[in-house]
Amino acid sequence: MSHARGKRRRVVPGCDRLEERTVMSASAAVTTGGFIGGLPSSPSLTVSTIAANGDQNPRDVAKVHGGFLVTDLYTANQPPVLSTSIEKVFLNGSTKTWYTMPKGSWLTGPIGVESNGDVVAEIGSRPRGNVGGQTTISLLVLNPNGRPIVDLKNQKLTPGVSSLAVGQHGGTSQIYLSDSNSGTITRLDVRIQHGVPRIVKATLIASGYPTSFIYPPVPPPSSAPVLYSGFAGSSQFGLAFDPKMDVLYVASMADNAIYAIPQAGSRTAAVDKGTVVVKNDGKLRLPSNLTIAPNGDLLVTNNDGIAANPNLPSPLYEYTPAGAYVNSISLDPNFGAVSGLVVKPVGNQYWLATVNQTASTLDIREVPK
């Protein structure tokens, strides 16, 4: 049963029928000022992502046929505990709980979608009765209808994994993982064996990212700086994969930088962080998540709950792949409100969906193609 929560909007005629499942090329028409130049200042659709069981505080979003999937991170309990719900937001603004984790397991936040429509979600679990025991991290693969297929396990899946991205190289599905504890990025190659997805290889493709930092590094703050290390409750290394260029982009909070890892789908040796796209440009303030716009530019959110620009709360920045600044917009009047983001083609529009973790909503802005 669907729940119509949040603000409703005019439904785009035939949007389900016209939904496009391919990303436009980098030569697609864009508004002056880049992709952001066409965005309205306020969302045209705001939908609550609070699940029927009270799960809230959304973390990540992925585009799927007919809408979006959002991972909730915490329950409404005091003190809060980790969530078990994945919510689906339909194109008409209605929602439903798409999947609920079984007892003893919970969502850790990151979610992605493979080219065949299968959904990959990072989860944590403990053996039954082992309340204070060691947490096992794995990747739950579900079909497009929310039915579990397999729970993928690998020694590279640790509690430090904070972001994932999904790609494909040849006939092999690939899952990229950033690890905040080790400062590394690993590629998992996944193939179908006996009708079930299996991890066939794990390759370290990048290392050297700092796992702790003091912000701001310069100039020294008027008061003592706060040390943030490791996972720290935020996405340490946001990831976005460009399948056309075979490049994995990394938002490194500790470096205050965006890096590019070339030949991400085929490389066999790790790079030292990758090529600098942009770093300490006076705009980035602890970049946390990113996605690729239809024109090929990078759309980057900042963890400005820690490092705020008073004139631009919850900013979204746009850069070219070469690192040139294009445009920016404030996505919410509150600082630190925005987490995951994704762009989805719908009819004659692009929909930018951003996770508002402060309000527990998915905010959507429409841009004409």
What confidence score (pLDDT) does residue 134 get?
A: 65
What confidence score (pLDDT) does residue 329 get?
A: 96
Q: Which CATH superfamily includes the segment(s) 15-368? A: TolB, C-terminal domain (2.120.10.30)
Q: Which residues of the chain have pLDDT under 50?
A: 1-31, 128-131, 218-235
Is the pTM above the cut of 0.75? yes
Question: What are the domain boundaries of the chain?
Answer: 15-368
What confidence score (pLDDT) does residue 1 get?
A: 40
295-338 pLDDT per residue, tens: 999 999 988 766 678 889 999 999 999 999 999 999 999 988 99
Write the secondary structure of the chain as one string of H (helix), E (strand) and C (coil): CCECCCCCCCCCCCHHHHCCCCCCCCCCCCCCCCCHHHCCCCCCEEEECCCCCCCEEEEEEEEECCEEEEEEEECCCCCCCECCEEEEEECCCCEEEEEECCCCEEEEEEEEECCCCCEEEEEEECCCCCCCCCCEEEEEEECCCCCEEEEECCCCCCCCEEEEEEEEECCEEEEEEEECCCCEEEEEEEEEECCEEEEEEEEEEEECCCCEEEECCCCCCCCCCEEEECCCCCCCEEEEEECCCCEEEEEECCCCEEEEECCCCCCCCCEECCEEEEECCCCCCCEEEEEECCCCCEEEEECCCCCCCCCCCCEEEEECCCCCEEEEEECCCCCCCEEEEEEEEECCEEEEEEEECCCCEEEEEEEEC
122-156 pLDDT per residue, tens: 888 755 444 455 678 899 999 999 999 999 998 88
